[in-house]
A and B are shown apart, each in its own frame.
Chain A
Amino acid sequence: MAHKIFTFDKLQVFFKHTDYYGFVHPYNYMEWSSYAREAFFQELVPNFHSLCNGAIKMVTTAVRFRLLHEAVFGDRIVVKIYSENVKKISFDVIFNFYNLKDNQILGCGEQKLTFVDSSKFRPCLIPVDLKKIVLEYEKKDGLNQ
Chain B
Amino acid sequence: MKYFAYSQREFIYKYVVMFSDTDQFQHMSFANYLKLMFLSTDALLVSSCDSAFLDKYRVRLVDSSMQFKHQCVVGDNVLIKVNSTEIQENGFTLLYTFIIENTGRLVGLGRQSYVMFECKGMNPVRIPDQVAGLLDPIKVDKDNLLYKY
Q: Which residues of A contact B (CB under 8 A)?
A: 20-21, 25-27, 30-31, 33-34, 57, 59-67, 111
> Within 8 Å CB of B29, what residues of A?
34
- Chain B nearest CB from A121 CB (Å) reads 12
- Chain B nearest CB from A143 CB (Å) reads 25
> Within 8 Å CB of A21, what residues of B?
58, 119
> Chain A interface: which of B3-11, B62-70, B81-89, B91-99?
B62-70
Asked if B68 contacts A26 (CB within 8 A), the reply is no
- Chain B nearest CB from A125 CB (Å) reads 19
Contact of B30 among A20, A34, A57 (CB under 8 A): A34
Contact of A62 among B35, B62, B68 (CB under 8 A): B68
Asked if A27 contacts B35 (CB within 8 A), the reply is yes
- Chain A nearest CB from B44 CB (Å) reads 16
How many residue pairs link A and B with beta carbons under 8 A? The number is: 55
Interface string of B45-72 (1 = CB under 8 A from A): 0000000001000101111111110010
Asked if A20 contacts B54 (CB within 8 A), the reply is yes
Q: Which residues of B contact A (CB under 8 A)?
A: 25, 29-31, 34-35, 38, 54, 58, 60-68, 71, 119
Give the CA-CA distance A57 to B25 in the complex, in Å. Answer: 9
Asked if B31 contacts A62 (CB within 8 A), the reply is no
Asked if A61 contacts B68 (CB within 8 A), the reply is yes
> Within 8 Å CB of A62, what residues of B?
65-68
> Within 8 Å CB of B63, what residues of A?
64-67
> Within 8 Å CB of B71, what residues of A?
59
Give the CA-CA distance A66 to B62 in the complex, in Å. Answer: 6
- Smallest CB gap from B60: residue in A: A67
> Within 8 Å CB of B38, what residues of A?
25-27
Asked if B25 contacts A26 (CB within 8 A), the reply is no
A27 in contact with B34 given A61-B67, A64-B64, A65-B63 (CB within 8 Å): yes
> Within 8 Å CB of A61, what residues of B?
67-68
> Within 8 Å CB of A67, what residues of B?
60-64
